[in-house]
Amino acid sequence: MKQLRDKIMLRGVGSLTDAELLAVVIDDVRLAERLVESVGSLAALSRMDLSRLRMAEGLGLQRAEKVAVAAELGRRLARAESMQMECVLSSDDALRLLRPHFEGLTREECRVLFLTSSNRVVECMLLSAGGVQATVVDHRLIVKRALELLATQIIVAHNHPSGSASPSEPDKELTRRIKEAAALFDIALLDHIIIASSGETFSFKGQGLL
């Protein structure tokens, strides 16, 4: 561990490998190396619940709690940084803003970005949260909130914890309903983005479905 701390002092935290970062958190270099090798990545490690994490390579409850806290801290920092984005000019911008909100989730959630006519972000709202395979979304609530905020454009996003970003038929039907309901009030649905736990994404606009 002394070598790691010397490395941090000389080169900074950014110079550490994934296993070395984890080693600093749990205070055990060899265990950290085994964990990263067995799980595959820090991202996969951060998605594990506490009960599974404590059993991984004999990590134990106290060290598992430290890893879980570090992962949650990283997610919250990423969300805070993403919300500093003032304007969304493309689906890629929307994805950078929205992805941190879905990191590590084991249930489906739906979020909506409300934008002005100049693409300024007014609000990022958690619309609904459900189970592993579905969440109930009411398109009327989206339109109601857009009118309250005087937003003229919206981007909808939800996650697929299953690992595949391919849209289901209900996803397609939901997109149609939101688009039609919003259009009645001159509110444009710019995109519906699906973010999978595997890192795969699907853009309805990008696929020509809007």
Task: Give the tens place of pLDDT for each residue, 70-79.
Answer: 877 877 776 6
The whole-number pLDDT of residue 138 equals 86
The whole-number pLDDT of residue 132 equals 47
The whole-number pLDDT of residue 7 equals 80
The whole-number pLDDT of residue 113 equals 94
Q: Is residue 193 within 8 Å of residue 203, measured between CB atoms?
A: yes
Largest interatomic CA distance in the chain: 64
The whole-number pLDDT of residue 187 equals 97
pTM: 0.63
The whole-number pLDDT of residue 131 equals 56
Question: For residue range 117-137, what is the model confidence (pLDDT) as tens digits?
Answer: 999 998 989 998 875 455 668
E runs forming strands in 78-180: 109-115, 121-129, 153-160
Phi first, then psi, for residue 45 (nearest 5°) are -65, -40
The whole-number pLDDT of residue 6 equals 75
Distance CA 142, CA 45 (A): 34
The whole-number pLDDT of residue 73 equals 82
User: Kind of pairing, strands 153-160 and 188-196?
Assistant: parallel
Q: Which residues in the chain come in under a pLDDT of 50?
A: 132
Distance CA 100, CA 96 (A): 8
Please report the domains of the chain, with CATH numbers, ordered by start residue.
Answer: 2-79 (1.10.150), 85-203 (3.40.140.10)
The whole-number pLDDT of residue 20 equals 85
